[in-house]
Amino acid sequence: MRVIFFFLFIALNLNAITYAQNGKELDRRNGFKDIKLLSNINDNTKLEFSKDVKDKPDYAIYKPRKGQYNKIGDINIKKLNVYVYRKQIYQIEITTEKSMQLFKSLEKAFGKINTSMVSKNAFWEGEKVRLNYLVEGSNKLILRYRSRDIDKIIAIDNKKKIDSLSTEF
């Protein structure tokens, strides 16, 4: 009986270690290809300005230059948007055709996918990066890499704005 509990204990710990390593792998990669989250947008010459976000002066959207970021392996990228806050990349959104090969590759790289029954969301998560896997329609897939620290950065900036405004009185 002790032997069974010992092997069960080892199996559970190995599963926890694997999960931690996979979250670390997502954090280590910190984005998609050479687009790194929380890096300066000006450091990536393969992206170009697309548009400012309406009613949000510190936000912008960038798209790849012609001929850049066309494929993930053999899978065509239909659309790629890079979202920026104060010149820092905080979100990368990639739209592709739905592919079981792509899903298996993601699971190999980052481990078993997590799902939320409440939000009906599928994702991989590290300490710094979250990768959402969103299926839309019958043939469309969206991969959304997002920095988990951006909300803290925005909150600090908003607090600074409020503090500087309060000194005006």
Domain count, the chain: 1
Instruction: Tell whether the model's pLDDT for residue 20 goes beyond 80.
Output: no
**Taking residues 33-60, what's their average pLDDT?**
95
The CB-based long-range contact list for 118-127 (8 Å cut-off, 24+ gap) reads 124/22, 124/23, 124/26, 125/23, 125/26, 126/22, 126/23, 126/24, 126/25, 126/26, 126/27, 127/23, 127/27
17 or 169, greater pLDDT? 169
167 or 106, greater pLDDT? 106
**In which domain, by residue range, is 107 found?**
2-166
What digits encode the pLDDT tens for the residues 88-115? 999 999 999 999 999 999 999 999 999 9
CA distances from 52 to 57, 80, 85, 166, 167 (A): 7, 16, 10, 28, 29
116 or 65, greater pLDDT? 65
User: pLDDT > 70: what percent of the chain?
Assistant: 85
